[in-house]
């Protein structure tokens, strides 16, 4: 079975990741919370409504701000899925066994799930619309 919200040929690591489509279903059902681990300027440029903003560098110090029990999916999003994977692994170690990175991050989210979320590139001058 193919998931069109995954990059073509991507092999999902279910212990650490979730597809954008599955994340959307879980969020809509109220079975998950979304944590955005991007930098402040990225968050200000674009974010998914309802997400909790905890930059990657603050995850360990601020993990107690995440209101989730052992059964709640904690979905973590960044720009493309690299930082969110690091954050999800850290959160698993900090007592959030259901922490998962959203594959493709907010960039893939805006392309395949919600095109109203702005796409951007990061550069020396901050975020720039794509």
Q: Which residue numbers are catalytic?
A: 78
By three-state DSSP, how is residue 87 classified? helix
- 118 and 45 Cβ atoms separated by less than 8 Å: yes
- Calpha distance 104→81 (Å, rounded): 5
């Amino acid at each position: 079975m193919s998931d069109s919200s995954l990059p073509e040929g991507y092999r999902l690591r279910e212990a650490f990741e979730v597809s954008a489509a599955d994340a959307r279903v879980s969020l809509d059902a109220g079975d998950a919370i979304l944590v955005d681990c991007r930098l402040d300027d990225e968050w200000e440029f674009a974010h998914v409504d309802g997400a909790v903003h905890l930059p990657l560098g603050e995850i360990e110090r601020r993990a107690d701000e995440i209101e989730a029990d052992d059964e709640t999916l904690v979905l973590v999003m960044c720009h493309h899925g690299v930082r969110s994977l690091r954050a999800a692994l850290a959160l698993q170690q900090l007592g959030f066994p259901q922490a998962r990175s959203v594959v493709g991050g907010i960039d893939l989210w805006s392309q395949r799930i919600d095109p109203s979320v702005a796409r951007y590139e990061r550069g020396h001058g901050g975020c720039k619309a794509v």
